Every structure is written in C-alpha cells, then in structure tokens.
Amino acid sequence: MIKRAFVAFLVAGGMCAPMARAQNAVTPIGDVVAAALRSVRAERIEQTIRTLAGFGTRHVLSRTDSDTEGTGAARKWLLAQYEGIAAASAGRLTVALQSEMVPCTRPNMPKEVAIVNVIATLRGTTEPDRVYLVGGHYDSRNSAGEDGKAAAPGAVDDASGTAVALEACRVLVGLSFPATIVFVAYDGEEQGCIGSAAHAKALAAAGVQVDGMIGCDIVGNTLGMDGKRYDKHVRCFSYAPSGSDSFGRSMARAVTYATTTHVRDFTTKLIFRGDRFGRGGDHRSFFEQGFPAVRLSEPREDFSRQHQNLVERDGKPYGDVPDFADFAFTANVTRVVIATLAELASAPPVPRVVSAQLRRDRYDTELVYELPAGVARCEFVWRETTEADWTHVIDMATAQPKPTRSDRLLATLPGVCLDDAVVGVRSIGADGSRSRVATPPEPDRFDQRPRTGQGGGR
C-alpha cells in the first residue's frame, strides 16, 4: 500500500520519467526526496534483520540446502524479497545472483564454497552506464572464523546494512532516475570481502562507470559500551591517498550534502580515513578498482556483540542478536542512503576540471572546466584547506563563466585566494539536484618520506 501511494504521488507530480520532467513542470528534487524519505519503514527494516538473524548463521560454510537455516536460506529469502519488488516494477528493476567459487586455500575456509551476491539493478532511463551503488553484507560469523555451524545471528554485522539496501530498493523503485542504482547483498565479507571484490572487478572489467558506492556495515547499534546512546549521526569513512581530496572524499561530501539538505534530525560525521583501525569492509573493494566509495558505520560499536558466540559471561550477554539493534537508527541511515542515491542519480554527471590558477593582478581564482554534454547549470564551491567540508557556494551569475579559445569554460571566483583554498565545481540538474564536486589537482606535493628515525610525522 505504501509503495502504491508513493508511486501515485509521483505520477501526480508528473515525475515518472525524465521525458516527463523535460516537458512538464519539474518537481524539485527536495520534494521528490522528502516523499521518498517519508516512506521508509523501520518495521520493515526490523523484519529483515530479525528474519536474517533467524537463520541461525549465515557463515559461508553453513548449510545451503535448507529454507530455514544457514546462508543458503538467507540468500534465497533475500532473492525472493528483491524479486518481489522487481515483479511490481514493470521490468525496471532486475535481479541477479553473482556466484564465485572460492578454493579451499583461503584462510578459515577448509573447502571450496560458492560466494553468492544478490544484486538488484534499477536501470537508469537516459544514462544507464552511470551507476550508483549501495551494499551491505549478509554473511556473518562468530568468535571462530571457520565455524559454519554454531549460531552467528549477525543482526548488526551486517543484517543491518543488508536491510538498508533492501529498504532503499523498496522505496526508490517507485522513482525513475537518469542514472542506474544498484542494491547489493554481499557474501563473503567476513572472509576478506570476497563477494564485493568479485563484483567491483566485474564492473571495472565491463567498463561500468561506478560514480559512487556506499558500503553500509554495522549500522544498527546505538547503545555504547559506556551506557550512552549514540543515535544522532552515522560515521562516513572515506580515504584519500594524499591531501584531503579524492574521489572517495568527494563522495563522502556528497553524502553530507544530501544529509544536510534532505534528512531531518540526523547528521553524517565525516571521518577522514578509509576505515577503522585494523578493520575493513566492502567499500574497499570499490576503492581498489578506482571507484569513489565510502563506508557508513554506527557512531560507537559494541564489541561484546560483533563476531561473538552467543554466551553469557559474568551475567553479561554476548552475541549479535536483534534485541540489541535500534531499528529507528537503521531507518535513519537508510534515509541518508536514499537521499544520497536520489540526489546523485538525478543530477547530471560531474564536470571535469581542467585547471585552476590565481590571477596575478588580484586575489581571484580562475577555474577552467568542462560541463558534460547537455548540462547548462553548475555552481562553484570552496573552503579553507583546513575545513572538512565546503563552506562557500558561488553561483554562475557571480562567477560569470566565459568560453575559452579551446571551447572550455573559465569561471572567476572573486576574492577566493586559490593558494589558501580548495575550489571545486558541481553540475546542477533542472530539478536542482547536485552532482559530486570535481576539484583541480593539488599543487606539487611535499610528498617526501621522513628520514629514518623521524617516522610517524606524516
């Protein structure tokens, strides 16, 4: 019912296809996202988490021949959920399994097993080859990495992230986007991100342009080990090899932009490192293929839950069971994901920055850039080099872009001293949606390594 009402709203708004957007009055992206966010249901997220935990274990070595126990039951259930959504999508959502046989030489894996990803694709209407992706991993583990039999409910790690992707799919299937959105339940994360690595490699080999990947992993607990509640923000991890800008960080700032613009009473905290110390996740598989990727994780993890056997020690329960999950929090993380995916998949592609220079006669920055074909609007952003996120926006009327001799565009950012600032440009769609920001390369870097004995300085 919810979905039908939502689709009816969109049809009434003349928003079901980009053609309709072009011909009729364009519904602002803010209205589209607001309607989508209202249809997120914490109860459905709870049902997904409880169902997945109810299969006992989803370890890659657990049973595959049952409908009620083990990883096989989990993937059959997930496949059925996505196929159910696809059946009502008039062919716009397609679902597939991607399977990879992994030999027994891997640590913790004494036999060959199939690693199976469940992948749902909402094909873009005009630019299907530009792809945005959200994924969580449905496999789980307990204290022993190779234990495929004992309970490993994995409610927070990572039925919660799997539930985010599924709920985002349920909500976004009611909309059409120029770019493609992919929703994935990954397998084999606990054994070294095997499923996501296979997926990212396959996408790269096929020449697919993944313009943004959001890994949702451990997004369900809000009760810290200090007894305090942490439910007002989600951490967004991103990596940059040098300096503070990279594709991944540009994606992270797109997540914060979408959160601040569309999501109420909830924020994103930028963390400027790829992941937590000594830990990893599926976003890394995408980063390694050169795709912009970030990881969302709850603010304070409870380590008595993750990767634990279900035991009680000194009266304290251990194990990753659903009763300790906060479904309203996971619903808010889902809203962050939906806002980001809807914004980016609606927006035109990212512009290309050619160069930036500081004028020699006054302290203005000149930015030379190219807009993708058919894109008319953009805006410029800047920040001090020490700021984490964009602090200033300059519109086209102020920047007065002019064509250069080589048919590029030259914008002037008045009063912005390039040597002290980071500048960038992003595309704007007819509905007001914003792309990721493109930035010029940093100047020559002081990249030399510390002398022996002075390590740790960088």
Sign of the torsion formed by the C-alpha atoms of 52, 55, 60 and 63: negative
Stretch that binds Zn ion, among 40-48, 215-223, 402-410, 418-426 (CB under 5 A): 215-223
**Interface pattern 340-379 for Zn ion (x via CB under 5 A):** ----------------------------------------
Burial 343-363 (b: 16+ CB within 10 A, else e): bbbbbbbbbebbebeeeeeee
Stretch that binds Zn ion, among 33-41, 116-124, 192-200, 210-218 (CB under 5 A): 210-218
State in angstroms the smallest separation of the CB of 409 from Zn ion: 43
Stretch that binds Zn ion, among 8-16, 56-64, 119-127, 153-161 (CB under 5 A): 153-161
Cβ atoms of 42 and 331 closer than 8 Å? yes
By rule CB under 5 A, what count of residues binds Zn ion?
3
Burial of residue 24 (CB within 10 Å: 0-12, 13-18, 19+) is exposed
Q: Output 158 or 343, the one with its CB closest to Zn ion.
A: 158
Q: Which of 46, 100, 127, 158 binds Zn ion (CB under 5 A)?
A: 158
State in angstroms the smallest separation of the CB of 41 from Zn ion: 23
DSSP 146: T
DSSP 444: S
State in angstroms the smallest separation of the CB of 279 from Zn ion: 9
State in angstroms the smallest separation of the CB of 156 from Zn ion: 9
Q: Output 125 or 285, the one with its CB closest to Zn ion.
A: 285
State in angstroms the smallest separation of the CB of 382 from Zn ion: 36
Stretch that binds Zn ion, among 6-14, 205-213, 214-222, 336-344 (CB under 5 A): 214-222
In whole angstroms, give the CA distance from residue 212 to residue 235.
17
Q: Cβ neighbours of residue 296 under 8 Å, at least 6 residues apart?
A: 161, 214, 215, 216, 217, 219, 234, 235, 236, 237, 255, 268, 333, 336, 337
Q: Output 157 or 211, the one with its CB closest to Zn ion.
A: 157
For tokens 């969109």, the residue is: 10
Q: Output 222 or 250, the one with its CB closest to Zn ion.
A: 222
State in angstroms the smallest separation of the CB of 440 from Zn ion: 36
Q: Output 157 or 379, the one with its CB closest to Zn ion.
A: 157
CA angle (184, 189, 192) in 5-degree steps: 140
Q: Output 127 or 217, the one with its CB closest to Zn ion.
A: 217
In whole angstroms, give the CA distance from residue 433 to residue 261.
11
CA angle (145, 148, 151) in 5-degree steps: 95
Q: Output 51 or 94, the one with its CB closest to Zn ion.
A: 51
Q: Output 186 or 382, the one with its CB closest to Zn ion.
A: 186
State in angstroms the smallest separation of the CB of 226 from Zn ion: 22
Site for Zn ion in 216-235 (CB under 5 A): 217
Q: Decide if residue 157 touches Zn ion (CB under 5 A).
A: yes
Single-letter code of the amino acid located at 26: V
Cβ atoms < 10 Å from Cβ of 173: 23
Cβ atoms of 57 and 70 closer than 8 Å? yes
Q: Output 157 or 245, the one with its CB closest to Zn ion.
A: 157
State in angstroms the smallest separation of the CB of 346 from Zn ion: 30
**Interface pattern 411-440 for Zn ion (x via CB under 5 A):** ------------------------------
In whole angstroms, give the CA distance from residue 332 to residue 216.
12
Q: What is the largest distance, in Å, between two alpha-carbon atoms of the chain?
A: 75
Q: Output 293 or 418, the one with its CB closest to Zn ion.
A: 293
C-alpha radius of gyration, the chain, whole number: 23
Name the residue among 299, 282, 410 with its Cα closest to residue 357: 410
State in angstroms the smallest separation of the CB of 187 from Zn ion: 12
Q: Decide if residue 127 touches Zn ion (CB under 5 A).
A: no
State in angstroms the smallest separation of the CB of 188 from Zn ion: 11
Which residues of this protein are in contact with Zn ion, per CB under 5 A?
Answer: 157-158, 217
